[in-house]
Every structure is written in C-alpha cells, then in structure tokens.
C-alpha cells in the first residue's frame, strides 16, 4: 500500500495519527488497485440491449439447504454440494467446486457443533445475557473469558477500587465469574458507576482492563489522553428509553444516507445522538432517503480513527451520548420511515491495550485469545489486531455483538467494514484483483473468516428477515452476495467501490473532452449478475484528509466566492454544478441496485474531512457539516440539494433501482452521450461540454407518448430551463418487430428530444388511459410540483406515492404563485400566473 504511506508523509502526521489513519487509507488503496476487479459474468453482459431476468428467487436445489432448517440434522456431503445453486448461476465456479465444498462443509459443521453444545445459533448469539454484567436472583453476576489470567478481581467505584473482597473464580473453560448480592434491596454496583477487570497474568503482573462485554465506557474529558473506564449501565425503568415505533418495512432498493453523528453539527464540536435525531434526520427524510447508515457507533478511544479502531464492541460511543440517547435516535428515524444500519467493524480491533480488547492478550496461545498470534494476528497497515474466527469464544463474542445491536437498539442491519481483509490471509495488501477466479478460491482465502460471515448472515436474517447486510469488499469475490443455501456468503449487497475511483481519476487526470463514455459505463455496470451492489460517487473515504469532495474537485477555491445566486455563475461554477448533478445521478441510475451518499455531499459540501489531531492543532473546523450553506437561500448549494431530493423522489415514484430491466442502448464517444433504460424510464446523459443536440434520436422499448419527469437543467436545479417539460414525444417504430438488428440501437421504438450540453434528462411513458379526453394534460405542472411540494411540506411527512403525487390545480397554482422563480415560463403561462406577452421570446425559442 505504498500510496497510503506516501499520503501519510504528505500530511505530516504524527506516528500515532499515521497508525490510526492507515486503516482508511489502506481501503482506499485497495479500491484503487482493484478498479476493474468486480468481475461481471460475460454470460449476462449488462450492456447488451435486452431485458435481464435477474432471478431473485433462485431454485433452492442446493442440497445443503435441507440441513439449514431449524429442526433438521446438520450434516452434508460432497454429493449434496455438487448441485449448489451458485454453479447454475455461474458455471465458471465448477472449476473451484472442491474449495466451495470444503468451505460449505466447514460452515455446516461449525453450525452443527454450535447447535449441539449451545442449543442453537440463536441461543449462542445471546452471550451478553451470560457474559459481562447481568442481574440474576437479586444479585449482579459478572463473567469474563480470560483463560490467560492466573487470578482475577472486580474493582470499581463500588468497592473503592480495592478488589481484595471481590475475587473471582475460574471454571474449566477459562471463564471467571463473581456473584455480588444486592445490599439493602439495592444493587451493590450502582448504575452509571465505573468498573474494571483486574487480573494477574503469567509473569505475576496485575493489570486493569475494561470488561470485554461492557455496555458503556467513558473518559474524563478534563484529562488529556486519559484512559477510558468501563461503566456499569443498568438504568432504572424510569430512565430507560422505550421504543415507540416499529421498524419500517424493507424497501425494494436502499437509498442510503451515510452519516457520522459526531461531525454532524455546524459548530466545531462533537455532536450528540439527540442533536442528530432532532436536526439531521428531518433533512435526510426531506431528501427522500429511506435508510441511514451510522458510522462510528462502536466505542473507539481515538476519535480520529473515524470509528474504525474499535475498543469496546458492546458500548456506544460515549462522545455523543448514552445508550438511551442512541435508542432515541433510532426510534425517531423509524418514526420518520427511515431504516438504520450500523457500520460494524468485525474485521479487526484496536491495538490499544489500555482501553480495548487487546488488553486481554498477554502473550497466551491463540486458542486462549481473541486474536491470532504473531503476524497473522496483526494488520501491518492498520496497526490493529486480527480476530481468530475459528475460536469458539470469538464466534460467541462477535455473533452476540450483532444480535446485541439488533435486539437492544433496533438496528435494521449492518454494513460490514473491511470484508476484503477478512476474506484473504493477505488482507488485500499489495494485491491487484483482476477478476481471475484463482484469486478468490485458493490457499490465500481465509476460510475461517468466510465461515464466520456465513454464520453471521444466517443469524441476522433468521433474527430479522427484513435485515439489510452490506459487504465492503473491493475484491469482487463471487457468491459473496448469494445466500448460504446456495453456497454463497449471504450478504444482501456489496459496495461498488470501483465507481468513485473512476470518477476521481477522470476529475483529476482528464479534460472533459477526454472522458470516455465507454469507460464510464463499464465502471458502472461491471458487476456480477444476481449479486446486488450499492453504488456511490463518493463516501466518507473520498473526502478524508489529503483528498476533496467531488464538488471541491470540480470548483475548488472558486466555491468560496462564486456560489452566490445574486450574480451570474462563472464558467467554473456552471460546469461544476452541472457535472456534480450528472455524476451523482448517473452513478445512482446505472451503478447498482442501491445508492449511497455521504452526509453533506448531496448539496456539494466543499473542502475535505479532517478530525482534530496534533497535526491540525486539534481543530474541529474540517470535522463538521456546514448546513448553513444549503440553508442560505441565495447560495447555489440549494440547487444541488434540490436535485438530490428529486433523484430520490424519482426512484420513490418509479422504483427504477429495483427494476430487473436494465438496458444501455447507446454509448456515443463522439457526441459524449449515454442513453439507457431502467424500468420503463429512458435516461439521456449529455456530457459534451459545448454541444446541444436538437432532434436527438433515442431508442426505447415501449411505444407511446413520453414526457420529461426529471431534468437537471430545470431552473429549480440551477439550470437554464432549456428543455420543455410540456412537450409530448411520440414514438416511431423502428425496423421489424422482434428483429433487433433492424431496430434503432437494438430498440424497437424511438423518439426525438432536445439534449443540451452537460445535462441529464429522464423521460417516462405517459399512461394515456388515465387521462380524460378534455383534460388539460400539461405535464410540466406535475413535474415542478413534485419538487416544490416536497420542499414545502412538513419534513417529517411520508414521501408521496406515485398515485398521490399529483395535486388539485388550485394547490399547484398556489405553490407556483408563492415561488414563481422556481417554475419554468411554460408553467407560469399555462397556470395563468403570468401573461404570455411577459415571457421573453428567446426563452420560449430555447425551450422549443
């Protein structure tokens, strides 16, 4: 990962900061070297102009499925696996049948052992009811797995940090326990009091550690670099948060808003869970996202690690509040119709011995530790410890961790961080994934980690059938996102990590005229058939120190002075806003079956992210979100935000992200135009910096009448209003029906449009059966109303459905009268708000 180290040197970080940042940097480097790694089966090329029949309910002919039932024997044979469903989906995997049989048998055997000795996987995953602090028969019972300890005590505020009267006993499995009866009818360990596990290891030294299963940990904010303390969290019923709302149903396609609670404030400070719930969640809902992905929830002692160096896996990050505060956030999200995913880190753990799990490693053998010994237990780029996924107690700890967050906090699923590192013994370091299957199935594969992820996905989906589980994998391992009964690993989605790297490469290294439409389409469609992807143009990774947001790459320092709407936009701003809209929308529309945006990028947040550290004098200036930019009415940030809202609303109405019909019909390098269909929508992207095409012919599937439903050049999105929204585009038949080679771009029908430079326009087929003969069918009112109504309504309201999005004419007129500057001239005339003589004839000509 040489690039990562070069960046670290450029940033002039301290050695501590280099170590903590290396995790994020290594992931970035992995994405860079694997830009074309996600193999897309040539048997089902996305770009071929035909309907893809994605089999979301594949035949469960994988015989192993019979042994995955709740009440059936857990055995399998090589013959069972030979009919694995993944072989039907991808015959190329037949060559690696031995490997796939081996890992599937290990999975079933491990699951069988857990069921034999623990009752079931579900019971096994409730380790938090046994380990850590729990109430049992008018007493507090504390248990800790620490086989390397010679003696152990429980210390804390409750006994003046003197454990001589609270010595623990050890059983044959290395589990220490102590039972502390209540005193005077009250718990002997008060709620919210500090505790630690004190033990003596082999060389006779006593050490104090935070309990591994602790549910809350805090630090003295007045002491610099003070160690964390475990906190006994058991609030009385009156102080416990009670959930009010049920989980929202699983959407057909996730539109994910990635967020970091701590840096979500406009002020240079660490924000809280309640502040985020009250001020940021309504913004997310107003922009029509359906899912929130929360970063840095697991406790991490070093803030600058972005939450990826976890110290306490069962504790919420105390910087932003208490466990009850986080429950308030999640419940409020559910009340707004938003699902909540956790960015969970089971790929590694912090190297911190004072505050974290690594403190239990005192040189014992790997069988008695959470981590592997030696080099196998250490990630040299992340400076962190690596789990031993074959260890029984490690499996209990990690699987219970997932269930804890599902059951106790009502999370709706997870985004697994660092999956590539888990999948391979080399962790993806200095590895260029080319798509050759030998890279995925060999001795380099960490089968123990694969089995853990299969168990984890099986557990999560059994506990919560509507859960969403996403893998952050850059390698493109086949069957990662196929269910376990087919022989897959069981994730629902993988992140399309190569897409942002393509955009950054173009923005940094190529002039607009050099952008290859074929390369763009290839990067967006290069994904495995039947394995869903979440696409994104930029996440938190792309904006960390040393890089910039896409908006800042496009407009840079001109954003400081050129974003006022009170004066004409400069060429830099004009180009930047136009391409910002196009890049994000094309990524969403063509890049996957889900979409992700990082907090603030929806409105073109400038600059970069930099957590407080010694190298920046502990400043929070770049570790916040400047919401004032999008809230200031005369600044152009509002245009990008409005377009982001409209993008999501478009999917809300037409469900194109979930559509199995995905067809790219035209890629023109000369015109710089891309035309494709998702569902029955027709998308036209014109990346040419200068050329506007009048009467441009585009192919489509269904005959009939088409109209504009989303236009990046509309006034409300900071455009010039050059495309007429009330124009009917009637199709013409092309060639011989059913004979694709005689059609136009292999499409049986076509219609003509106006395509201005640097714009994207989406057309929908008008259902003429819904219109009355005398009905005014001006389509522009509906299109503008979709955006205007959304900006006017209560931000906590439910998004309008396709059936309810049109309103009565009087309501439309009222909205347009209140905000005439956001509507096109055609709408104002047809609505009777302005006289036709008032309309500038040049604007009218341009629209035509």
**Dist. CA 735–CA 23, nearest whole Å:** 55
**Residue among 27, 30, 19, 24 nearest 383 (CA):** 19
Q: Which structure tokens are listed for 552? A: 């800042």
Q: Is 472 a catalytic residue?
A: yes
Q: Is the Cα dihedral 4, 5, 8, 14 positive or negative?
A: positive
Q: Is 417 a catalytic residue?
A: yes
Identify the active-site residue in 368, 446, 472, 593: 472
First to last CA, the chain: 54
Token pair of 517, please? 């439409």
Q: Which of 141, 133, 146 is nearest to 207 (CA)?
A: 146
Give the C-alpha separation, 75 to 460, whole Å.
Answer: 22
In 227-369, which residue ranges form alpha helices assigned H by DSSP? 273-275, 281-286, 323-335
**3-state secondary structure at position 767:** coil
Please state, in angstroms and rounded to a whole number, the distance separating the CA atoms of residues 490 and 669.
39
Which of 527, 530, 475, 526 is CA-nearest to residue 88? 530
Q: How far apart are CA 656 and CA 426, in angstroms?
A: 38
3-state SS assignment for residue 582: helix
**CB-count exposure of residue 716 (10 Å: 0-12, 13-18, 19+):** buried
Out of 17, 90, 417, 593, the active site residue is 417
Residue 409: closest CA among 318, 314, 501: 314
Tell me which residue of 438, 431, 511 sits closest to 474, measured CA to CA: 431
Judge whether 325 and 362 are in contact, CB under 8 Å: no
Both tokens of 55, joined, read 């089999």
The tokens of 453 are what? Answer: 């992820």
Q: What angle do CA 360, 362, 367 make, to 5 degrees?
A: 75
Determine the Cα–Cα distance for residues 482 and 494; give it in Å rounded to an integer: 11
- E strands present in 499-566: 533-535
Say what the alpha-carbon torsion angle 421, 422, 425, 426 is, to the nearest 10 degrees: -10
Q: Which residues are catalytic?
A: 417, 472
């Amino acid at each position: 990962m040489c690039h990562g180290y070069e960046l670290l040197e450029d940033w002039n970080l301290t050695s501590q900061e280099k170590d903590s940042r290396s995790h994020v940097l290594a992931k970035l480097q992995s994405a860079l070297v694997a830009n074309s790694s996600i193999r897309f089966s040539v048997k089902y090329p996305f770009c071929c102009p035909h309907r893809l029949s994605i089999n979301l309910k594949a035949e469960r002919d994988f015989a192993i499925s019979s042994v995955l039932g709740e009440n059936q024997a857990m055995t399998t044979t090589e013959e069972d696996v030979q009919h694995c469903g993944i072989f039907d989906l991808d015959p190329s995997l037949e060559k690696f049948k031995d490997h796939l049989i081996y890992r599937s048998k290990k999975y079933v055997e491990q699951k069988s052992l857990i069921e034999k000795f623990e009752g079931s996987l579900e019971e096994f995953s409730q380790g938090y009811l046994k380990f850590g602090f729990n109430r049992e028969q008018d007493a507090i019972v504390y248990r800790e797995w620490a086989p390397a300890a010679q003696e152990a005590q429980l210390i804390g505020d409750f006994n003046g940090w003197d454990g001589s009267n609270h010595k623990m006993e050890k059983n044959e499995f290395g589990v220490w326990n102590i039972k502390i009866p209540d005193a005077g009818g009250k718990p002997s360990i008060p709620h919210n009091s500090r505790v630690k596990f004190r033990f003596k290891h082999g060389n006779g030294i006593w050490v104090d550690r935070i309990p591994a299963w602790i549910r809350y940990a805090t630090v003295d904010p007045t002491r610099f670099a003070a160690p964390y303390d475990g906190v006994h969290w058991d609030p009385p019923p009156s102080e416990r948060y009670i959930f009010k709302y049920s989980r929202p149903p699983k959407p057909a396609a996730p539109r994910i808003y990635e967020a970091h609670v701590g840096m979500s404030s406009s002020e240079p400070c660490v924000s809280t869970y309640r502040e985020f719930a009250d001020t940021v969640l309504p913004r997310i809902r107003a922009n029509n996202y359906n899912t929130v992905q929360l970063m840095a929830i697991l406790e991490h002692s070093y803030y600058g690690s972005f939450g990826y160096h976890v110290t306490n896996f069962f504790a919420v990050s105390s910087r932003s509040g208490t466990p009850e505060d986080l429950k308030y956030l999640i419940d409020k999200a559910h009340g707004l119709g938003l699902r909540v995913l956790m960015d969970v880190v089971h790929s590694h753990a912090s190297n911190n011995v004072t505050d974290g799990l690594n403190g239990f490693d005192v040189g014992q053998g790997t069988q008695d530790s959470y981590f592997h010994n030696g080099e196998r237990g250490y990630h040299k780029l992340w400076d962190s410890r690596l789990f031993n996924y074959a260890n029984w107690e490690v499996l209990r700890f990690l699987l219970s961790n997932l269930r804890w967050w599902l059951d106790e906090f009502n999370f709706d699923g997870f985004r697994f961080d660092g999956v590539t590192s888990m999948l391979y013994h080399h962790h993806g370091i200095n590895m260029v994934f080319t798509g050759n299957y030998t890279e995925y199935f060999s001795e380099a594969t960490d089968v123990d980690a694969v089995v853990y992820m299969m168990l984890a996905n099986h557990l999560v989906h059994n506990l919560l059938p509507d859960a969403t589980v996403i893998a952050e994998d850059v390698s493109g391992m086949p069957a990662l996102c196929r269910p376990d009964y087919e022989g897959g690993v069981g994730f629902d989605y993988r992140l399309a990590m190569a897409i942002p790297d393509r955009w950054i490469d173009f923005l940094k290294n190529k002039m607009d005229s050099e952008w290859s439409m074929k390369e763009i389409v290839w990067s967006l469609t290069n994904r495995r058939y039947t394995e869903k992807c979440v696409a994104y143009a930029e996440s938190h990774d792309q904006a960390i120190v040393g890089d910039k947001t896409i908006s800042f790459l496009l407009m840079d320092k001109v954003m400081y002075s050129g974003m006022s709407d009170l004066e004409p936009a400069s060429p830099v701003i004009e180009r930047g806003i136009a391409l910002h809209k196009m890049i994000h929308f094309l990524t969403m529309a063509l890049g996957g079956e889900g979409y992700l945006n990082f907090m603030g990028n929806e409105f073109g947040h400038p600059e970069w992210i930099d957590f407080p550290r010694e190298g920046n004098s502990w400043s929070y200036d770049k570790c916040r979100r400047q919401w004032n930019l999008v809230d200031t009415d005369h600044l152009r940030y509002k245009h990008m935000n409005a377009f982001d809202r409209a993008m999501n609303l478009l999917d809300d109405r037409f469900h194109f992200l979930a559509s199995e019909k995905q067809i790219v019909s035209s890629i023109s390098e000369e015109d710089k135009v891309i035309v494709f269909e998702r569902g029955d929508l027709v998308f036209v992207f014109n990346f040419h910096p200068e050329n506007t095409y009048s009467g441009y012919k585009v192919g489509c599937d269904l005959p009939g009448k088409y109209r504009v439903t989303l236009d990046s050049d509309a006034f409300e999105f900071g455009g010039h209003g050059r495309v007429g929204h009330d124009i009917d585009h009637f199709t013409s038949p092309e060639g011989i029906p059913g004979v694709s080679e005689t059609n136009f771009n292999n499409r049986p029908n076509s219609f003509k449009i106006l395509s201005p430079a640097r714009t994207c326009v989406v057309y929908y087929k008008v259902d003429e059966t819904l219109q009355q003969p005398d009905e005014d069918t001006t389509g522009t009112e509906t299109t503008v109303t979709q955006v205007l109504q959304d900006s006017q309504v209560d931000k906590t309201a439910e998004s309008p459905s396709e059936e309810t999005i049109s309103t009565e004419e009087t309501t439309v007129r009222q909205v347009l009268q209140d905000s005439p500057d956001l509507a096109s001239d055609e709408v104002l005339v047809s609505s009777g708000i302005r006289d036709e003589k008032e309309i500038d004839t040049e604007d009218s000509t341009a629209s035509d």
